[in-house]
Amino acid sequence: MSLFGIKEKEKIVELNILIDNLQKEIVKSKNKEEELFKTIQEKDIKIKSISKSPHDRQFEKITLEFDKVKKENTSLKISNENFKLENMELIAKNHEVIEKIIEIEKMADSLREENKNLKQSKKPEIIREKPRYKVLIKDLYSARKHDEFKKICENLSLVYVNELEDLNFEKLITDGISKTKINNAENEYIKFKNGEFNSDIEEYLVHGHKVSKVFFRYRSFVSHLTDMGIEFIYQLENFDFEVLKEDKFTPTQIEKLKEKISEYNKLRKI
């Protein structure tokens, strides 16, 4: 596929049309030249057949007409040469455009090949930070298609993803659960073990949830943390709750916030 497909090719078409028109004009000029030469020959024959004495005036007239025809013939030859020069110039321009297109297409092919090689090159190994938090089954299987599987895990008192290591997925199929749903759940777990998970899970493993998600009912507290540049739960490990009193937080409110963080860490922190 040419990068200059439309504009450049339209220019080539225009140049080719002009070249064809010039060539047609050249052919017409040659035909007219031949006709004039024929006329000259015919008149020359007439002149030779005329006797000098009685037809002097007629001879004189023919001579004048002959000179006129010769001038027209010379003019046509000059026009013909000009047409040839213009034709050569247009052909040269046409070649320049074609060469430019070929050069651009070569560059495009080279870039496409380079892009292809980059895509096929080995992906760099991702170096992850050491996780601080445990992944809950409900976090990994957050999609609605896993609702039935999450219900099974809940009935089996399974909370964390690492607890799925001893789960017999095949047995769940024999218990009447959809084979497709169980296979999807097992594949999700295998991918997780292989380190194949989305950026949200990776972010959670290292930083925990965002404070805006955990404390969505405590907007004033979230606003206070945002002003302090605190975005994730792990940043609250050494948080001084006493500073909240300056923002008119009551002791009861502060205690509830502490309990919330304590419950979160008890459930999720490694």
* Residue 13: inside a domain: yes
Burial (CB < 10 A; 0-12, 13-18, 19+), residue 189, is buried
Asked whether residue 73 is assigned to any structural domain, the reply reads yes
Q: Is residue 97 part of a domain?
A: yes
Q: Which of 185, 205, 225 is the last residue of a domain?
A: 205
pLDDT of residue 125: 43
Question: What is the domain-level CATH number for residue 245?
Answer: 1.10.150
Please tell me the pTM assigned to this model: 0.48
Take residue 189 and report the two structure tokens written for it.
Answer: 């777990």
Residue 129 counted as domain residue: no
Structural domain harbouring 31: 5-120
pLDDT of residue 29: 78
Among 87, 120, 153, the domain boundary falls at: 120
Please report whether residue 125 resides in a domain.
no
Q: 63 and 166 share a domain?
A: no
Do both 199 and 231 map to the same domain? no
Give yes or no: residues 101 and 23 share one domain: yes
Residue 53's pLDDT is: 55
Asked whether residue 102 falls in the same domain as residue 158, the answer is: no
Please list the pLDDT of the chain residue by residue as tens digits (270 residues).
Answer: 455 567 777 778 888 888 888 888 888 878 888 888 888 877 777 666 555 555 666 767 787 787 888 888 788 888 878 878 887 888 888 778 888 888 887 887 777 777 766 655 443 344 467 889 999 999 899 899 999 999 999 999 999 999 999 899 888 887 777 889 999 999 999 999 998 888 888 888 999 999 999 999 999 999 999 999 999 999 999 899 998 998 889 999 999 999 999 999 999 998
Position 98 in a domain: yes
Computed on alpha carbons and rounded to an integer, the radius of gyration of the chain in Å comes to 46
Q: What number of other Cβ atoms are within 10 A of residue 258's Cβ?
A: 13
Total domain count for the chain? 3
Q: Which of 93, 44, 98, 35 is nearest to 67 (CA)?
A: 44
Helices (H), 156-250: 169-174, 179-193, 199-207, 211-214, 219-227
